[in-house]
Amino acid sequence: MLLTFNAGRTILKINILGKKITFASTALGINRFIPIEKLILMGNVQGILKERPDFSGMSERDIKFEGVRMFKEKIDTLKTQEEVKNYILYEMESQGYRLISIQ
């Protein structure tokens, strides 16, 4: 399943295969999919801190690392690909991304 989002000029594609999730964006090269661990240099620290204010004393890199860890743990608790899709839709829309298509 491929979800395509946009936020401003950025296009983000998220490929879901069971619980394996990879990402591609206009910033990374739209056809180059990478695992979430590689996104640690990107990401919204403020979004993570909103959910986990106890991380506020940590470095930006550590906050992003913990955000990735929490995301992966959440995905592991979901039972179906449909649940994974719904969770990703919720998370991306809360970060300001708008769903363009689902394939």
DSSP 6-47: EETTEEEEEEEETTEEEEEETTT-TT--EEGGGGGGSS-HHH
Instruction: Tell me the residue range of the domain where 27 lies.
Output: 2-102
In this prediction, residue 40 carries a pLDDT of: 57
**pTM of the predicted structure, to 2 decimals:** 0.81
Contact indicator for 64, 41 with CB cutoff of 8 Å: yes
- Residue 39: which of 20, 19, 18, 24 has the closest Cα? 24
Q: How confident is the model at residue 93 (pLDDT cuts 50, 70, 90)?
A: confident
- Residue 14: which of 79, 99, 74 has the closest Cα? 99
In this prediction, residue 88 carries a pLDDT of: 94
Give per-residue pLDDT as tens, 27-65.
766 778 888 877 654 557 887 888 889 999 999 889 888
In this prediction, residue 80 carries a pLDDT of: 94
SS3 78: coil
In this prediction, residue 38 carries a pLDDT of: 76
Burial of 64 (C-beta count, 10 Å sphere; 0-12/13-18/19+)? buried
How many domains are there within the chain? 1
